[in-house]
Chain A
Amino acid sequence: MNLSAIDFAIIGGYFAAVLGVGAWANRRIGSFKDFLVAGRVLTAPILVGTFVATYYGLDVTFGTPETSFAEGISAFFVYAAPFYVFYLILALWAAPRAIATGSSTVPEMMEHYYGPGARLPVAIVTSLYSLPVLSVAGLGVLGHFFLGIDPVIAAIAGGAIAVIYTIMGGLLADAMTDAIQFFIMCITVAIAAAFAISQIGGYSQIMATLDEDFFRPLGSLSLAQILIYSSIALTPLVDPGLFQRIFAARSVADIRLALLLSTGLWIAFDWLVVYFGILGAYLVQSGQITGDPNPTEIVLHIVQMVLPAGLLGLFIAGCLATAMSTIDSYAIIASSAIVYDAMQRFSKKKLSDRVLLLYTRIGIFLAVAFSIFVAFRFDRIRDAWIVMASLLMAALLVPMVAGLAGLGRRSRRAGVWSCWAGLVSAMALIFLFEIWGDYSEGLATRTVEVAALGTTLIREQIGLIALPVSIVAYVAGLLLDGGKK
């Protein structure tokens, strides 16, 4: 597809802006803590930008419409809405408790609760979850659609720019660029939706054409499926990206205000991207989009139809912003979890600030490079997210929520065991699905037949199987410690 000169100018301007911020922030990095938690100076307006831009990546911009394109409005009520409850729990309950531990990272907080033995498994799972796989895959989709280039090349090019400014400026550059990226991503989605509803039509027009199942809030899903899908909404309670920002905040009041404002923006964002997916289904059904489009690219088909030159470039910059704001933030965490929480903690000689900074910067590069390597292995963007969220929840949900609830001090073994048990069982299941699983077109997910039980497991169940293992391990540790530390 052909972009105009003004589109390229806007995209070029965006790249120049984020690289400029990286260079500016680089001069303000005095120590490793400056790099990791921006010296704990983030206030509400900066936090809103960084929460929204970091937590919502292209997995939402492309992945949510991909779901609503196939399943309708339940993409909002089943997949997105349960998250809002947990954002509020995070704001009102978990964040103040996390700050009170005085930690800088999630593994450090878990060490506070369960002793040094908890730090390594938490660092491993934090690092794995934080690999920015989904957003680099999204950059690939974007480059392929608009420029016709190989998705891997597009992912490498976009990933490289995010790596450069993050390596230069750490969390400060990350939070600053997030503010710019937040602005662009919100504005562009709003503009695209306004053009789409004006030029193509709103729900009142679509509803007559599409199957009524599309507009049932819970879709055609069974209660068990709804519980499985909506259980993923627990991830904000353990998401290391959200917690890093909580640790970097100046005060609890700043976090609360920022999370409440962010939740309002996330609801609006979700409602619009769900609309894009349903609009896409309508356009396909009414023959206005032909040629069996890839559901992941449905948003791009719509914006290409409705946006004029200039605004199209702005939308692409918005997508780049959405992806890169997630890549930079999570790459810092993936790297620091290994360097700061594992290497530094367990090395005999304390690593100097200079060495920590150097290793973390190398780690950021490796995290993005590895993410590009695995990004194109998944059938759908949402599948990759489910695998990573399942891993995080299986390993961290039980010990972290117990720790935040004040139960951690009662048994060190409980925390350490539950984390290892969740991590190992989730990893084993992920490999099981990769090696013996098949992709089911009907269920739109990977499945494994368990002949002995006469049942078929779907990949979304990984977390639900591994989580009880983690609970059992927690209880076993608790019993063995007899309630004593």
Chain B
Amino acid sequence: MMDALVWAAIAILGVGAPVLFLWFVVRLRDLSGKQ
């Protein structure tokens, strides 16, 4: 169980961070300040 949680945490960071980073790149134009 606790090992499964370690793997789950690895998946959250390992997959979540790249996905969020891509979202950030796609939305970079937000920083131009236009609403």
On whether the two chains bind one another, the answer is yes
Binding site for B on A (CB under 8 A): 28, 38-39, 41-43, 45-46, 48-49, 172, 176, 179, 182-183, 186-187, 189-191, 193-194, 197, 202-204, 250, 261, 264-265, 267-269, 271-272, 275
Contact A45 B27 (CB under 8 A): yes
Contacts of B18 in A (CB 8 A): 183, 187
Given contacts A187-B13, A187-B18, contact A45 B23 (CB under 8 A): yes
Q: Shortest 6 CB-CB distances between A and B: which pairs?
A: A186-B17, A202-B3, A190-B14, A268-B12, A268-B9, A190-B13
Given contacts A179-B24, A197-B3, contact A268 B13 (CB under 8 A): yes
CA distance A352 to B1 in the complex (A): 59
28 A-B interface contacts by CB (under 8 A): A38-B31, A42-B30, A43-B30, A45-B20, A45-B27, A46-B31, A48-B24, A49-B24, A172-B31, A183-B17, A186-B16, A189-B13, A190-B11, A190-B14, A193-B6, A197-B6, A204-B3, A250-B35, A261-B16, A261-B20, A264-B12, A265-B13, A265-B16, A265-B17, A268-B9, A269-B13, A271-B9, A275-B6
Contacts of A39 in B (CB 8 A): 33
Given contacts A45-B23, A48-B20, contact A194 B31 (CB under 8 A): no
Contacts of B8 in A (CB 8 A): 268
Contacts of B5 in A (CB 8 A): 271
Cβ distance A274 to chain B, nearest Cβ, rounded Å: 10
Q: Given contact pairs A190-B17, A268-B8, enumerate 18 new A-B contacts (beta carbons under 8 Å).
A: A38-B31, A41-B31, A45-B27, A46-B27, A46-B31, A48-B24, A49-B21, A179-B24, A183-B17, A189-B13, A190-B10, A193-B10, A197-B7, A203-B2, A265-B16, A267-B9, A269-B9, A272-B13
Cβ distance B29 to chain A, nearest Cβ, rounded Å: 10
CA distance A271 to B4 in the complex (A): 11
CA distance A267 to B21 in the complex (A): 18
Q: Which of A38, A48, A194, A265 interacts with B12 by CB under 8 Å? A: A265
Cβ distance A480 to chain B, nearest Cβ, rounded Å: 46
CA distance A42 to B30 in the complex (A): 7
Cβ distance B4 to chain A, nearest Cβ, rounded Å: 9
Q: Which of A197, A203, A268 interacts with B16 by CB under 8 Å? A: A268
CA distance A400 to B35 in the complex (A): 31
Given contacts A41-B30, A45-B27, contact A182 B17 (CB under 8 A): yes
Contacts of B2 in A (CB 8 A): 202-204
Closest to A25 in B: B31
CA distance A179 to B19 in the complex (A): 12
CA distance A193 to B30 in the complex (A): 34
Closest to B27 in A: A45
Contacts of B21 in A (CB 8 A): 49, 179, 182-183
Contacts of B17 in A (CB 8 A): 182-183, 186-187, 190, 265
Closest to B12 in A: A268
Cβ distance A251 to chain B, nearest Cβ, rounded Å: 10
Closest to B20 in A: A48
Cβ distance A37 to chain B, nearest Cβ, rounded Å: 12
Cβ distance B22 to chain A, nearest Cβ, rounded Å: 9
Q: Which of A42, A49, A172, A176 interacts with B20 by CB under 8 Å? A: A49
Contact B30 A46 (CB under 8 A): yes
Cβ distance B8 to chain A, nearest Cβ, rounded Å: 7
Cβ distance A52 to chain B, nearest Cβ, rounded Å: 9
Q: Which of A42, A172, A271 interacts with B6 by CB under 8 Å? A: A271
CA distance A429 to B10 in the complex (A): 41
Query: Which of B12, B21, B24, B27 has most A Cβ within 10 Å?
Result: B24
